[in-house]
Structure 1
Amino acid sequence: MTMEGGLVEQRRQRVELVKKAGYARKAAKKKRCKSKLQGCGEPKVLRALQELFVACRDVFKGPGTVPAPCDVNKLCKILDYMKPEDVGLSNRLLEIFNAQDAARGNLMEDPVKGSPVVTYTTIYKCSNFSLCLFFLPATAVIPLHNHPEMTVFSKLLLGTMHIKSYDFVDPMSSHDSPQHSQPRLARLVTDNDFTAPCDTSVLYPTTGGNIHEFRAITTCAVLDVLGPPYLKDDGRDCSYYKEFPFTAFSNGEKSASEEEGECYRWLEEIEVPENSHMDEIEYLGPQIDDN
């Protein structure tokens, strides 16, 4: 078998591993409870996800709206206590991934691009919000990208990840269409490592680090709540960026804010980068009752 063929096969095996080791179909689908009064209610793992869904349905009101601070706190309190098993991830998943990464070295590599591929699955999606899981092998990257007119809650469920995020100094509405080649000044919001379990991070349409990048230090799993979800026809398409030092377009000048300790960069919108490709898999975890 050629080296390229071996990488393709390893990638296929890793995707299958996410499906089989990460999830277990519920026996409850085959064995119905005769009566909820007998104490045979929904499993705890389902209740946690169902609670999140119900809260999201109450909090997110559709495009053009931002959750009130009390609603943000409401969702954060739920997400802060969520664990991998609450979305059907077995505790063995991280162990298996880490063992394989150590033995063979980032097996889920794209044979063409040579970088670890991110895998994702959609738990639930409607016009107001979506719940998604992202799986990142060690060293995998979700490149610097934005979330136009969206409020996003990110909960790191497994692993250690470096997150870098920015906000534009002068936010523009979705109706503005600047030249892609024109860099825009942005303020660095986050540039840190995070290890699960940790608090939920929240970004808003123009604040909180709306433009961010994920770099997996170890194998990671992230639960994202997006309200509203991406929708190109509604002007919520994902854009990608390349960053430049503040001095690159400022002739060495420093602003008063920068001298006070805030860090600035120039961000230039770019075409979709090669390492932005993700593999989608079917969601096989606890199901949501949306009735």
Structure 2
Amino acid sequence: MPVLKKIYNACKDSFTPTGPISEEALEKVRAILDDLKPANVGLEQDSVAAQKWKPISNGSNGRKGRSGNQQQYPPPIKYLHIHECEKFSIGIFCMPPASIIPLHNHPGMTVLSKLVYGTLHVKSYDWVDIPELPESCRARPAKLVRDCEMRAPCSTTVLYPTKGGNIHCFMAITPCAIFDILTPPYSSEDGRHCSYFRRVPNKGLPDDIGQQLEGVNLDGIVWLEETPPPENFVVLRGQYKGPLVKKS
């Protein structure tokens, strides 16, 4: 059975409109994703080209921003949509070198990400629950979960609703592709909409609150504030031309 069909069947059996039915079911999907190759999703030629890629000095595109000034913009990202239902969505982000998926979240969602080819840098955070945080405070504290470089082939990563780095950003070092499964998918009607964040100056924590955060490195806490998506963040929806998922 084609790998993409195996992934689809596993997702259909393992996920519900509220997420995975169990950790064991989630592991079943992750195990199949770990074996995913570029050829399984029609990206073999792209993978070969990525291996031959060499950096150039002027890789970004200059164009006018909203202010009318000439700006350097990272290249647009292409999203290849494969499938979406009430239980899960499947798609592939194809990222040119220097492109960035800015810091964003997946509220109430579990996310499996498999780097199909290429190299990227990932930075991720989880919220730190602070009792009695003032309502006037727009920023929230978050702890760093991951700040590293990933190079294919590598294991599938899993982000949970409240742990594992649910708030994250990617920067492509070489051409790369990320195979993403979201369960359940984004849904504004159900309160699962994507928000973007920026880091703001640290506000510090009262000593009595810091003592309640067992196992949290206070030096690694940053403050994040919701912000509109960056003007230079462009995602183009592309046509998926790889092996098809035939629903059963």
State the TM-score, normalized to the length of structure 2. 0.85
Instruction: Flag structure 1 segments of 5+ consecutive residues without an equivalent.
Output: 1-43, 173-177
2:33 aligns with 79
Q: Cα offset for 1:83?
A: 0.6
- CA positional deviation for 1:188: 0.9
Counterpart position of 1:272? 229
Relative to 1, partners in 2 of residues 1:171 and 1:232: Cα closer, same or farther, differing over 3 Å? Answer: farther
What is the correspondence of 1:51-130 to structure 2 with a 5 Å cutoff?
A: 51-63=6-18, 65-90=19-44, 92-96=45-49, 102=55, 105-106=58-59, 109=61, 111-112=63-64, 114-130=73-89
Are 1:224 and 2:176 counterparts?
no
Higher mean C-alpha displacement, 255-264 vs 232-241: 255-264
Q: Does the 8 Å contact 2:76/2:235 carry over to 1?
A: yes
Distance 2:174 2:139 in 1: 32
Q: Distance in 1 between matches of 2:217 and 2:84?
A: 42
Q: For residue 194 of structure 1, what is the aligned residue in structure 2? A: 150
Query: Match of 1:141, as an amino acid?
Result: I
Residue in 1 aligned with 2:119? 160
2:141 equivalent to 1:185: yes
CA shift for structure 1 position 236: 1.2
Which residue does the alignment assign to 1:284? 241
- What amino acid maps onto 1:62 in structure 2? P
Q: Displacement of 1:275 after TM fit? A: 3.0
Moved over 2 A (4+): 94-107, 109-113, 251-262
SS at match of 1:70: helix
Please give the alpha-carbon distance, in whole angstroms, between the structure 2 residues aligned to 1:242 and 1:128: 30
**Post-superposition CA distance 1:90-134 (Å, at most 9, x none):** 2x3144357676468436x36345212111111111111011100
User: Does the 8 Å CA contact 2:20/2:26 hold for their aligned counterparts?
Assistant: no
Q: Contact between 1:110 and 1:117, CA under 8 Å: does it hold in 2?
A: no
Shift of 1:55: 0.2
Residues paired across the two proteins, number: 235
- Determine helix, strand or coil for the equivalent of 1:274: coil
Structure 1 residue matching 2:46: 3-state secondary structure: helix
- Report the structure, 1 or 2, having the larger strand content: 2
Flag the 1:51–1:258 CA change in 2: closer, same or farther, 3 A. Answer: closer
Identity %: 39
**Residues 1:67 and 1:165: Cα distance change in structure 2 (over 3 Å):** farther
Q: Given that residues 115 and 176 in structure 2 are in contact (C-alpha distance below 8 angstroms), is that contact kept between their aligned partners in structure 1?
A: yes
Structure ranking higher in helix proportion: 1
* CA distance, structure 2, for counterparts of residue 267 and residue 285 of structure 1: 38
Q: What SS class does the counterpart of residue 111 from structure 1 fall into?
A: strand
Distance in 1 between residues matched to 2:219 and 2:14, nearest whole Å: 32
- 1:53 Cα deviation from its structure 2 partner: 0.2
CA contact (8 A) 1:162 1:216 kept: yes
The residue type equivalent to 1:187 in the other structure is: K
Structure whose alpha-carbon radius of gyration is higher:
1
SS in 1 for 2:63: coil
User: What is the one-letter code of the residue matched to 1:85?
Assistant: A
For residues 219-255 of structure 1, what are the alpha-carbon distances to aligned partners after superposition, in whole Å with 9 as ceiling and x for unaligned?
A: 110000001111222211100001235xx20179794
Q: Which residue of 2 aligns with 1:240?
A: 196
Amino acid of the structure 2 residue aligned with 1:54: N
Aligned residue number for residue 67 of structure 2? none
Give the Cα–Cα distance (whole angstroms) in 1 for the partners of residues 75 and 14 of structure 2.
Answer: 35
Residues in 1 aligned to 2:33 and 2:63: alpha-carbon distance in whole angstroms: 36
3-state SS of 2:189 partner: helix
Query: Cα offset for 1:259?
Result: 7.8
Q: How far is the alpha carbon of 1:262 from its aligned partner?
A: 6.6
Mapped contact 2:53–2:175 kept (Cα < 8 A): no
Q: Which runs of 5+ in 2 are unaligned?
A: 65-70
CA distance 1:250–1:201, change in 2 (3 Å)? same
Whether contact under 8 Å (1:124, 1:131) holds in the other structure is: yes
